Amino acid sequence: MAAGRGARVGVLALQGDVREHAALLAALGADVSLVRSPAQLAEVDGLVLPGGESSVIDKLSRLFGLREPIAERIGAGMPVYGTCAGLILLADRILDGLPTQLPFGGLDVDVRRNAFGSQVDSFEAELEVPALGEEPVHATFIRAPAVERVGPGVEVLARVDERVVAVEQGALLGTAFHPEVDGETRFHARFLEHVARVSGP
């Protein structure tokens, strides 16, 4: 597959399921790097925020001097795809975050952490995602968040029991689930399309 041929993308590699995202993006033809510093961030045209623990990624992003550079790049139009904890970090508001926790922001949504329960409440579901075609998306939810408010510029891509679990706003894409653990490539391919449009030929 060559959906991302030549695209320079990074995976924020502070904590979480970094390798799974990197492998999937590479399989789609992207030039993938692991981002742990502002210098590495400056070299990519798009960024994936992986699943993990949102509060830990928040703390580490500050420690590594990445929080402000990432927020600035998002504000400047860099395509970003956040899964699970990445969706939480991409949201403008975390409804039940820790007192010191700050998201990178950019996505005009309110997100609730662990909206479906704890680790033992993890589940799988088949989702209808018309934007990705007729074939359902097999989605794995692990301590998953949910979107509880959607801004006027945000498109809802998928729901579970009326709860919003996938959204898109311009070049920003977020899912409450983990396509990378199921070999589902369509969300990452859509992210790479955003990168191609922003970075040009």
pLDDT attached to residue 114: 85
Predicted confidence pLDDT, tens digits, the chain (201 residues) = 455 667 899 999 999 999 999 999 999 999 999 999 999 999 999 999 999 999 999 999 999 999 999 999 999 999 999 999 999 999 999 998 778 888 999 999 999 998 887 766 789 999 999 999 999 999 999 989 999 999 999 999 999 989 999 999 999 999 999 999 988 999 999 999 999 998 765
pLDDT attached to residue 4: 60
CATH assignment at residue 30: 3.40.50.880
pLDDT attached to residue 180: 93
Instruction: Extract the tokens encoding 22.
Output: 């990197």
Examine residue 187 and state whether it is found in any structural domain, yes or no. yes
Examine residue 118 and state whether it is found in any structural domain, yes or no. yes
pLDDT attached to residue 99: 80
Examine residue 2 and state whether it is found in any structural domain, yes or no. no
pLDDT attached to residue 122: 85
Examine residue 135 and state whether it is found in any structural domain, yes or no. yes
Give the residue numbers spanning the domain of 71. Answer: 8-199
Instruction: Extract the tokens encoding 59.
Output: 């703390």
pLDDT attached to residue 201: 58
| Residue in the block written with tokens 């939810």 | 141
Annotated active-site positions, please?
84, 178, 180
Question: For residues 10-20, b (16+ Cβ closer than 10 Å) or e, as one string?
Answer: bbbbbbbbbeb
CA distance 168 to 186: 14
**Which residue in 114, 105, 116 sits closest to 162, CA to CA?**
116
pLDDT attached to residue 103: 94
Name the domain count of the chain. Answer: 1
Q: Considering only CA atoms, give the Rg of the chain.
A: 15
Task: Tell me the H-state helices in the chain.
Answer: 18-27, 38-42, 54-63, 67-75, 85-90, 186-199
Grouping H, G, I as helix, E, B as strand and the rest as coil, residue 15 is coil
Grouping H, G, I as helix, E, B as strand and the rest as coil, residue 186 is helix
Examine residue 142 and state whether it is found in any structural domain, yes or no. yes
Task: Tell me the H-state helices in 76-185.
Answer: 85-90
Examine residue 82 and state whether it is found in any structural domain, yes or no. yes
